[in-house]
Structure 1
Amino acid sequence: MQTILITGTSSGYGLEIARHFLDKGWNVIATMRRPDAALLPTSPKLRILPLDVTNEESIAAAIAAAGPIDVLVNNAGIGVVGAFEATPMAHIRKVFDTNTFGVMAMCQAVIPQMRERRSGVIVNVTSSVTLASMPLAAAYTASKQAIEGFTGSLAHELGHFDVRARLVEPGYAPTTRFAQNTDLRVEDLIPPAYAGFAAPIFEAYAKPALTTKEADVAEAVWAAVHDTSDRLQFPGGADAIALYQARHG
């Protein structure tokens, strides 16, 4: 029976990915900074571990406790919405610490066992902003674009050892807490000079033509895990698929 370790399972996509793989009979290791067993169904196939992807000791402890891992899903992430010039550099570094360096650290921790076994899959969850940049999300977009390039390069390196690296690019899900897991308020990051520019953008975000459901992303991860071709990108959700098709035809 295969084992999957998923980061950031306290809500949103990570939580749904964990549920999806449990339903499929997998052994699931759900990780989050503050473990909460009430979030997931009771199952002998489920283990919940504490994990902060920005802390090397926390990563090492979680990997040691997890045992052999067949699939790693790097889903943990934080968002920030606002004008770039008003976003504190300290917070931009915080975004990169989680979304970029946290993903890289998790990969370094898991790659050796996959390379030695010559099997395994790493799925890095980015965003549809990598397919079409959105305004008022410059720092977030940059952190996710970095992982797109990183994963493409990693796929070449790991393919030599029969280990696959994949990207899942979720669209916009209004139900996710995209920018609510930070200590910054959106209104504090919109200076008066940007108010007229930002207002219609926020209106469009509130009523998007196409959206993504958490289940769409879980299905995209499932497809990425099981695809044995050289395909790298797996958009998740109707809006992400539309953007992917517009870019790639």
Structure 2
Amino acid sequence: MKTVLITGCSSGYGVETARHFHDRGWSVIATMRSPRNDVLPISDRIRILPLDVAEPDSISAAVEKAGQIDVLVNNAGIGMAGAFEATSMAMVRRVFETNTFGAMAMVQAVIPQMRARRSGVIVNVTSSATLAPMPLTAVYTASKQAIEGFTGSLALELGAFNIRARLVEPGYGPTTRFAENTGIKVSDLIPEAYAAFAGPVFEAYASPSQMTSEQDVAEVVLLAANDSASRLRYPAGPDAVALASAS
């Protein structure tokens, strides 16, 4: 039985991915900043551990308690939408601390055990925003683009140890909440000068022509974890697939 550790399992893609792996016979370590026992099935193949990817001590404690990790899924992240002009550098750093540096720190924490076994898979969840520019998401997109480049290089670096690094790129769906976990309202990041431009943009975001479901993402993460091919990118959801085909 293989073990997967998934970050950001309190809701959205993370909790659905944890359920999906569990239902297919995996041992699941579901991590979240504030552990909850009401989001996942009660099972001897599910362990819930506290983990804040922005805190080095929290990462070390979780990885130590986890034991052998066959697959790491870096799903934890925060979103943010707004005009870059109105975004403080403190907020920029906060987004990168979780989306970029947190994912990197998790990877660094699990590499030694995977390298020693000469086996393992690292799945970094990014966004379809990396496939085509989206207005008013400059900081969020930059944090995810950094992981795209990081993972591409990492795949080459770790391939010598039989460790595979993959990217899952979810499209826009009902759980894509750009302001979630930031503690700041989107409206606070839209100066009056941007209001006329931002209105139609957010209307389009609210009613996309195609949607990515949580199940779409969970299925593609499992595919990326199991696939032995030398493939790097896995778009998830019909909109992400369309964008990837057009790029």
Q: Please give the range of the TM-score, normalised by the shorter of the 2 chains.
A: over 0.9
State the partner residue of 1:16.
Answer: 16
User: Bigger shift: 166-175 or 96-105?
Assistant: 166-175
Asked whether 1:119 is paired with 2:123, we answer: no
State the partner residue of 1:46.
Answer: 46
Measured in 2, the distance between the counterparts of 1:212 and 1:69 equals 28
Measured in 2, the distance between the counterparts of 1:55 and 1:203 equals 36
Q: Which runs of 5+ in 1 are unaligned?
A: none
State the partner residue of 1:201.
Answer: 201
1:177 Cα shift?
3.4
Measured in 2, the distance between the counterparts of 1:101 and 1:237 equals 26
Aligned-residue CA RMSD (Å): 0.7
Q: Is contact 2:13–2:175 with CA below 8 Å preserved after alignment?
A: no
State the partner residue of 2:230.
Answer: 230
Counterpart of 2:213, as a letter, is K
Secondary structure of the equivalent of 1:37?
Answer: coil
* Deviations, residues 189-242 of structure 1 (Å, cap 9, x unaligned): 000000010011111111111110000000110110111111100000010000
State the partner residue of 2:32.
Answer: 32
Scaled by the length of structure 2, the TM-score of the pair is 0.99
State the partner residue of 2:191.
Answer: 191
Asked whether 1:63 is paired with 2:71, we answer: no
State the partner residue of 2:2.
Answer: 2
Measured in 2, the distance between the counterparts of 1:226 and 1:63 equals 21
Asked whether 1:99 is paired with 2:86, we answer: no
Counterparts of 1:73-84 in structure 2, within 5 Å, are 73-84=73-84
Scaled by the length of structure 1, the TM-score of the pair is 0.98
1:188 Cα shift?
0.5
Measured in 1, the distance between the counterparts of 2:176 and 2:38 equals 18
Instruction: Give every structure 1 segment of 4 or more consecutive aligned residues whose post-TM-superposition deviation is greater than 3 Å.
Output: 175-178
1:176 Cα shift?
3.9
* Deviations, residues 14-42 of structure 1 (Å, cap 9, x unaligned): 01100000100100000000000111111
Q: Is contact 1:12–1:177 with CA below 8 Å preserved after alignment?
A: no
Measured in 1, the distance between the counterparts of 2:21 and 2:44 equals 13
Q: Which runs of 5+ in 2 are unaligned?
A: none
Asked whether 1:153 is paired with 2:153, we answer: yes
Secondary structure of the equivalent of 1:39?
Answer: coil
Q: Is contact 1:26–1:45 with CA below 8 Å preserved after alignment?
A: yes
* Deviations, residues 117-149 of structure 1 (Å, cap 9, x unaligned): 000000000000000010000000000000000
State the partner residue of 1:244.
Answer: 244
